[in-house]
Homo-oligomer: A and B are copies of this chain.
Amino acid sequence: MDVDDVAKVLKDLGHPHRLRIFKRLTRSGFDGLPVGVLREDLDIPHSSMTHHVAALVSAGLIEQVREGRILRCVPKYGRLWDVIAFLQSECCVEDRSRQID
């Protein structure tokens, strides 16, 4: 991941609704949850929800799988791990001799 990719993920995750959606999804497990459940849990109107979910999809943080008439949102843990790895390796002191503990 390069700087621009990471910036995009951070931006898309950097919204209270979207962070809550992603948190709820990740905690729920590897199967994810339907849009409707998220919507009800977090009390976000239908159309707003769609936009936020779409943003998370475009950031690669979740994917959607259709099952009949419900669309399940599945969290992509690896995407977050990649971002965290970037931050840990690129946003720390370069000169380790001066690193605190």
* Contact assessment for B3 and A7 in the assembled complex, using a CB-CB cutoff below 8 Å: no
Q: In the complex the two chains form, what is the Cα distance from A14 to B27 in whole Å?
A: 23
A37 at the interface (CB under 8 A from B): no
A89 to chain B, nearest CB (A): 10
A23 at the interface (CB under 8 A from B): yes
* Contact assessment for B13 and A94 in the assembled complex, using a CB-CB cutoff below 8 Å: no
From B11, B23, B27, B29, contact of A3 by CB (8 A): B23
**Across the interface, which residues of B come within 8 angstroms of A75, CB to CB?**
91
Q: In the complex the two chains form, what is the Cα distance from A18 to B11 in whole Å?
A: 11
* Contact assessment for A13 and B15 in the assembled complex, using a CB-CB cutoff below 8 Å: no
Q: In the complex the two chains form, what is the Cα distance from A98 to B28 in whole Å?
A: 11
- Which residues 18-60 of A have a CB within 8 angstroms of B? 18-20, 22-23, 26-30
